[in-house]
Amino acid sequence: MSKWLDNAVFYEIYPQSFKDTNSDGIGDIQGIIEKLDYVRELGCNAIWLNPCFASPFYDAGYDVEDYFNVAPRYGTNEALKELFEKAHEKNMHVILDLVPGHTSVKHPWFKESMKPTENEYTNRYVWTDDIWTDFKDVQGVFGSIRGMSDRNGCCAVNFLSMQPALNYGFANPQESWQFSTSSKEAIATREAMKEVMSFWLSMGCDGFRVDMAGSLVKNDDDSKETIKLWQNFRNFLDEKFPEAVLISEWGEPEKSLEGGFHMDFLLHFGTSNYMDLFRSENPYFSREGKGDISKFANKYMENYKLTNGKGLMCIPSGNHDMPRIAHKLDDEELKIAFAFLLTMPGAPFIYYGDEIGMKYLENITSVEGGYARTGSRTPMQWDNTVNAGFSTAKKEDLYIMQDPDEDRPTVKRQMETENSLYKEVKRLTNLRVENEPLCSNAGIEFLYAEEKTYPFIYKRTGKEGSILVVLNPSKKGASCEVNENLSCEVIYSNNGEAVIDKSIITAPACSASIFKIMK
Ligand code: NOJ
């Protein structure tokens, strides 16, 4: 596995909203280059960049029109190459967003595929053989594109209606229009995607976050064929680009890691109980103290046992698809949430702006297929200059409106304020990289993660010893007994320090404490 993942702390950048350097109201690659030092100084040494390829942007770029070219609004391929180079100079890594499951309807492959006459791309997508034959309950198909062309057939939709599904075959082909995964048509799609990977990896990118990685083979109930397909991709990468990292948006680590992914996200969908942490009705990390960590912890351990040694699970602070972490939690609660995120196994992901507690803007008009997600995609708040330092364009020309609150958090203010969320996040990223037992692949054991109660205690063990993490997000002090007698030395605390008396641990209200275990 690529060594750099052990110490990676990722920062997710939604390029539209990070930093605009040419005053057109939308972020660009030069803006990211300008802010590399900011990201590095926060303690993040890796970047996940959301799709930045040519696109009609009906789904914010997840509808790719040209896999080989940067969208002009963000810059050029040369600019992206410069980003890779500058990042590497600073000892940072950059992964791109690979969207292998579907393209835009404007992609030249789809234009060819829509033609009634047979050509090289006729079967590049999943089509039925008659305009009146729909997909009914084909698993992994979300509707169909019909009547857009003279081709007599329906094309499968992979997500939104203008995202036709690429053809990687069916697990058990039943109809004449369903190709097997070993058909030359399915293989042609797979090989075309390898060319996309090779192109960017050769240019200097360090790997991919893979969009809807589990969606490729249709009617693949147990995901066996999709897993095989990813093993094939992984073998290809191991041979040609052994350092390339693959991280899946799949949410089922026992499957994705089997497929050769290095890490899989725990997400707002799927079975991980991720939502219980920061976003459910009663999030565990709220000071109300009504949360329940046990379901998350049990599921995590179940997956951990299944996947340990094969790869990692990673937990994001949020992403461009869900309400921001600050939607339900204030800065003091967020500090404890970050103490958790930055001490768990797997590389942590900080969604841009979460480190200053940027708000989720409710009920704003959808932009580029964002719908309710738009409120998590607003422009970064850097300082108190015009448009919070994001852009010098006219306010009404910004890609998405900014948080109108006069008191909105900014990077500048938080850098100048003692005890700000930004400073706490920075303290924690430093702590993580300085302590080997906190790195991505060191072990974890939950010592106390009980139903509807606090605190939450776990032990991380690496080659250089063990570290104890004691989190009590609740507004009431909490005490518990663990299964071992501990002798510890504190290395971090926020808002009071937990007291350890052999096996009895007492944590002050709203606190996070981290200890080196001495024996
Ligand atoms: C998941 C991406 O994160 C989301 O933003 C996108 O809309 C869908 N996949 C479709 O590509």
Q: Do the domains spanning 3-99+187-432 and 102-167 agree at the CATH topology level?
A: no
Angle at CA of residue 97, ends 357 and 437, nearest 5°: 60
Average pLDDT value for residue range 457-468: 98
Q: How many residues does the chain have?
A: 519
- Ligand 1 atom closest to the Cα of residue 160 is 10
Confidence check: pLDDT of 139 > 70: yes
- Give the homologous superfamily in CATH for domain 102-167: Oligo-1,6-glucosidase; Domain 2 (3.90.400.10)
pLDDT tier at 249 (50, 70, 90 boundaries)?
A: very high
Q: How far is the CA of 211 from the centre of ligand 1 (A)?
A: 6
pLDDT in tens, 375-404: 999 999 999 999 999 999 999 999 999 999
From the CA of 444, how far away is ligand 1's center (Å)?
31
At residue 365, does pLDDT exceed 80?
Answer: yes
Output the pLDDT for position 308. Answer: 87
Does the pLDDT of residue 519 top 80, yes or no? no
The residue type found at 165 is: A
Identify the pLDDT of residue 271.
87
State the Cα–Cα distance between residues 274 and 243, nearest whole angstrom: 29
Comparing CA positions, the residue from 107, 311, 84 lying closest to residue 193 is: 107
| Nearest Cα to Cα of residue 25 among 392, 373, 408 | 392
In sequence order, the 6+-apart residues with CB closer than 8 A to the CB of 402 are 378, 379, 381, 387, 388, 390, 395, 408
Residue 448 has a pLDDT of 98
- Distance between Cα 308 and ligand 1 center (Å): 28
Question: What's the whole-number mean pLDDT along residues 414-442?
Answer: 97
Tell me the three-class secondary structure of 151-187, residue by residue: CCCCEEECCCCCCEEECCCECCCCCCCCCECCCHHHH
Tell whether the model's pLDDT for residue 282 goes beyond 70. Answer: yes
pLDDT in tens, 299-310: 999 999 999 889
Domain boundaries, the chain: 3-99+187-432, 102-167, 443-517
pLDDT > 90 in the chain, percent: 98
> How confident is residue 1, by pLDDT bands cut at 50, 70 and 90?
low
Kindly report, residue by residue over 20-73, the tens digit of the pLDDT. 999 999 999 999 999 999 999 999 999 999 999 999 999 999 999 999 999 999
Query: Is 63 touching ligand 1 by the criterion CB < 6 Å?
Result: no
The topology under which CATH files domain 443-517 is Immunoglobulin-like (2.60.40)
State the fold for domain 3-99+187-432. Answer: TIM Barrel (3.20.20)
Residues 264/314, Cβ–Cβ less than 8 Å: yes
Tell me what pLDDT residue 309 has: 86
Q: Quick check: CB of 99 below 6 Å from ligand 1?
A: yes
Residue whose pair of structure tokens reads 């060191």 in the numeric block: 442
pLDDT, tens digit, 9 for 90 and up, residues 436-447: 999 999 999 999
